[in-house]
Amino acid sequence: MSCVFTLKQKGLKLTPQRRLIAEAIHDIPNHLSAEEIIAYVQEKMPGVNKSTVYRTLELLEGAGCVYRSRMDDGFVYHHAEEGHHHHLVCRNCGNTVDCDEDLLVSAEQAVADRYGFQVDLKHVVISGVCGGCARGT
């Protein structure tokens, strides 16, 4: 849980709430909505306020430990570690597919070559239709 070290390095305090929030982000592989993180945290430590969760997530994002992206409704959060993969989310059933990073790097490179624009698909939750839903199963 490198976030913890990062916080220390920045002189930020390591409270039980923050540990728990970092744990949620770290342990659950999917991207999480604020609501889900709040539920996870409050289950293990009832009484934690959602403002605290939001503030901590903002803190972790600023520290580079967490990515935050827009989803259809609200934000989703995901830990920011190397060895990335993209998240494909089915707009029909909501399921997530982890997509190997190298499938998209060539496209990113092509865009960079032609337009000088550095696309960052890591920060994007990519929506579409999963195989199951496309087949109508």
Partner DNA sequence: GTGAATGCAAATGGTTTGCAACGTA
Partner DNA sequence: TACGTTGCAAACCATTTGCATTCAC
What does the binding site for a copy of itself look like in residue numbers (CB under 8 A)?
A: 70-72, 88, 90, 97, 99-100, 103-104, 106-107, 110-111, 114-121, 123-124, 126-132, 134
Q: How far apart are CA 1 and CA 112, in angstroms?
A: 33
Residue number, 45 or 110, with CB nearest to a copy of itself: 110
Bridge partners for 67 per DSSP: 78
Place of tokens 């342990």: 27
The residues pairing with 99 across neighbouring beta strands, listed in sequence order, are 86
Residue 63: which of DNA, a copy of itself, none does it interact with, CB under 5 to 8 A by kind? none
64 DSSP assignment: T
Comparison of 43 and 100: residue with beta carbon closer to DNA: 43
Backbone angles phi, psi at 82, to 5 degrees: -70, 170
Write down the least CB distance from residue 18 to DNA, Å: 5
| Cβ neighbour number for residue 125 with a 10 Å cutoff | 19
Which residues form the interface with DNA (CB under 7 A)? 12-18, 33-35, 47-52, 54-56, 58, 73-75
9 binds, among a copy of itself, DNA, none (CB under 5 to 8 A by kind): none
